[in-house]
Amino acid sequence: MTLLNAADVPTATPHRVPETTRADVLAFVADIARLTKPAAIHWCDGSLAEREAVLSELVAAGTIEKLNDDLRPNSYLARSDESDVARVESRTFICSESEKDAGPTNNWADPDEMRATLGGLFTESMRGRTMYVVPFLMGPVGSPVTRVGIEITDSPYVVASMGIMTRMGRIALDVIEAGADWVKAVHSVGAPLEHGEADVAWPSNPTKYITHFPETREIWSFGSAYGGNALLGKKSFALRIASAMARDEGWLAEHMMLVKVTSPEGQIAHIAAAFPSACGKTNFAMMQPTLPGWTVETLGDDIVWMWVDDDGRLRGINPEAGFFGVAPGTGMKTNPVAMQTLWGNTLFTNVARTDDGDVWWEGMSKPVPQHLTDWRGQSWTPESGTPAAHPNSRFTVAIDQCPSAASEWNDPRGVVIDAIVFGGRRSDTMPLVVEARSWEHGVYLGATMASERTAAAEGVVGELRRDPFAMAPFTGYNVGDHWSHWLHIGERLAASGTQPHIFHVNWFRRDSDGSFLWPGFGDNIRVVQWMMDRLAGRVGASDSPIGALPRLGDLTLDGLDMTIEAAHQILTVDSDEIRADARDAHNLFASVGDTVPAALMRENARTLQLCD
């Protein structure tokens, strides 16, 4: 897509001469400069000196403040505008040539009409600002599914964050120079500056668009400087555009975390798990098991790209290089590994600041500090009646700083996937864990998974919504075709007899008083133990309308403060609840229409039949 007006390329002096001979790259940068009229152009090389310069620029602008080096070395706190605090799903569009290809879970926009809209918005949108050219890799160099992009942005906050979240700069430009195809990503905060006009600490625009053009592999984002709206390598590239690429090229781009689990006996399993945002992915990815002798090593906490290797096995990598985690609820009790990872070199956004120059958020520690500066920059005490940190406040930190990071996290060969787990935040209906009857049934469980909405996205917190594969906001094409693609991958794996087992978990089941029945966190290893016993064929299971459930004696419950009645409640299902849930899933299928695979309709009918 080319968005041009009649003006010439501005006379902007680059901070650094571009180190590329690719004519298409140079033309892209020139076209965007001609359109947006920046005051200067900076080609990012990803060096430490560059990072320090960008951080200094952000401090001078008031966008971030440096934290106390004695308490949190080389770390910074950003406070966003109050209108720019989360993904804006209502302003996120898939601009496929066919509306049907976007499907019912996406907002579709006609690509020609959207190009016209964007052309107006981006015209002179970077006036008075530096335009940064950010080459970046998704995945380690040399992996068969590693892909490369170039994000153009006028936000130094985005540059600093992309330097943590991706392999950014010279390393990516070298891959482009070697002849790789690349994804175009253009971002502007939409806040041009007149000569001499004072800037604001968090420039943004009330008008927001996050747009994706799957056929031409392009992303255009306007107005927001926050998270996945602006860090275009994350949800926009690694899921929405990459999922369309994966469909066309025969692999998978999924909203999953990835871990390596080792038992006391030395059994190793690599597990990919899909959970909606803020529903426990990072806690699972950094689990510290409560059972002696077990280890969980982190490969990734949010996105997994998977492919069928030459031996017919499913392999996966984490395409990211950092964590962009939800801060509230993260503490030494819930996720000690994350807390250890955040010792320094971290960019925090919208958390509170302590009087001695450190950070704090709800769930981080007890007792609660008696005075803080909250995420809005205002004085806060426990009597203030408002959260000190925004519910969707974040930390951005490199994976290689994580003490539980597996040595394979940066291996271009990836790891063989042994099990796939789906899950959601359900207070009822779904048991603690269930194993799918088959690959087709596992795809059905993934397609019909539901979760109570969290603060990480727009909408009413607590509302139950269907979130197929935890990809409802992220699938870059028709959701029914996504399910068919999973079935096709399963057929390829079946030919070699290497299909991973598929499970569904629900850590959030509640009793009649509203209390959680399962302790979660490090005790989730008890569920993983049962999964690995199933992989090895060591234990049986009880049949149910939704799959195989653990028998009470096969799940290690020793040491838990749990009654037999509570254990029975989380390990059984109510046929009436499952029937109602399956009927609601059928409504989902009806809304998706004729792209729903026949195999999933059969699984839905079978579930209803087994409830009778």
Q: What domains does the chain contain, in order, with CATH numbers?
A: 13-62+88-250 (3.40.449.10), 253-322+408-611 (3.90.228.20), 323-398 (2.170.8.10)
Inform me whether the pLDDT recorded for 153 exceeds 50: yes
Alpha carbon distance 193, 199 (integer Å):
7
H or E element in which residue 295 lies: strand 295-300
Residue 269: count of CB within 10 angstroms of its CB: 21
Question: Looking at the predicted structure, is the pLDDT value of residue 18 above 60?
Answer: yes
Mean pLDDT, residues 183-195 = 97
Q: What local confidence, expressed as pLDDT, does residue 278 receive? A: 65
Flag whether pLDDT at 294 surpasses 60: yes
What is the model's pTM?
0.95
Cα 334–335–337 angle (5° rounding)? 160
Whole-number pLDDT of residue 584:
95
> Who wins on pLDDT, 460 or 195?
195
Which residue numbers are catalytic?
279
Report whether pLDDT(382) > 90.
Answer: yes
pLDDT of residue 461: 64
Instruction: Give pLDDT tens digits for 462-479.
Output: 678 899 999 999 999 999
Q: What value does the mean pLDDT take over residues 516-521?
A: 95
Q: Is pLDDT of 4 > 80?
A: no
Mean pLDDT of 249-262: 98
pLDDT of residue 8: 39
Which residues in 12-129 belong to E strands, given as ranges? 13-14, 40-43, 64-66, 76-78, 92-94, 107-108
Which pLDDT value is given to residue 20?
A: 86
Q: Which pLDDT does position 528 carry in this prediction?
A: 98
For helices 575-592 and 598-611, give the axis angle rounded to 10 degrees: 160
pLDDT at position 9: 40
* Torsion angle (degrees, nearest 10) of CA 300, 304, 310, 311: 70
User: Is residue 476 left, alpha or beta, with left meaning phi > 0 and alpha meaning psi from -120 to 50?
Assistant: alpha
Residue 3 clears pLDDT 50, i.e. is over it: no
For residue 137, pLDDT beyond 80: yes
Q: At 1, is the pLDDT very low, low, confident or very high (cuts 50, 70, 90)?
A: very low
| Residue (of 39, 14, 58) closest to 163 by Cα position | 58
Q: How confident is the model at residue 276 (pLDDT cuts 50, 70, 90)?
A: confident
What's 500's DSSP letter? Answer: P
pLDDT of residue 538: 97
Q: Per residue in 214-250, pLDDT tens?
A: 999 999 999 999 999 999 999 999 999 999 999 999 9
In this predicted structure, what is the pLDDT of residue 15? 54
Residue 484 has pLDDT above 90, yes or no: yes
Positive or negative, the CA dihedral 403, 406, 412, 415 is negative
Average pLDDT of the chain is 94
pLDDT at 16: 59
Q: What percent of the chain has pLDDT over 70?
A: 95
Burial of 460 (0-12, 13-18, 19+ CB in 10 A): exposed
The total of other beta-carbon atoms located within 10 Å of residue 328's CB is: 21
Of 43-52, 113-122, 273-282, the one with minimum mean pLDDT is 273-282
Among 403-412, 416-425, 445-454, the least confident range:
445-454
Would you say 379 and 373 are in contact if contact means Cβ atoms under 8 Å apart?
A: yes
Which pLDDT value is given to residue 21? 86
Parallel, antiparallel or unpaired: strands 347-349 and 76-78: parallel
Res 116: pLDDT: 98
Mean pLDDT on 388-407: 97
Q: Using DSSP bridges, classify how beta strands 394-398 and 304-308 pair: parallel, antiparallel or unpaired.
A: unpaired
Phi, psi for residue 337 in degrees, rounded to 5? -65, -40
Instruction: State the pLDDT at residue 366.
Output: 80
- Which has more pLDDT, 390 or 452? 390
pLDDT score of 108:
98
| H helix runs in 151-215, sequence order | 156-165, 170-177
pLDDT at position 12 is 47
Going from the C-alpha of 292 to that of each of 295, 433, 524, 525, 552, the distances in angstroms are: 9, 21, 13, 10, 21
Q: Which range among 199-203, 386-390, 425-429 shows the weakest confidence by mean pLDDT?
A: 425-429
What per-residue confidence (pLDDT) applies to 452?
Answer: 81
224-228, 302-306, 330-334: which range is least confident on average? 330-334
Average pLDDT over residues 498-513: 95
Interval 22-46 mean pLDDT: 96
The Cα–Cα gap between 522 and 291 comes to 8
Residue 459, pLDDT score? 59
Asked if 55 and 172 count as a contact pair (C-beta separation under 8 A), the reply is no
Band of pLDDT at residue 174, cut at 50, 70 and 90: very high
Average pLDDT over residues 273-285: 86
What sign does the dihedral 454-455-457-460 (CA atoms) show? positive
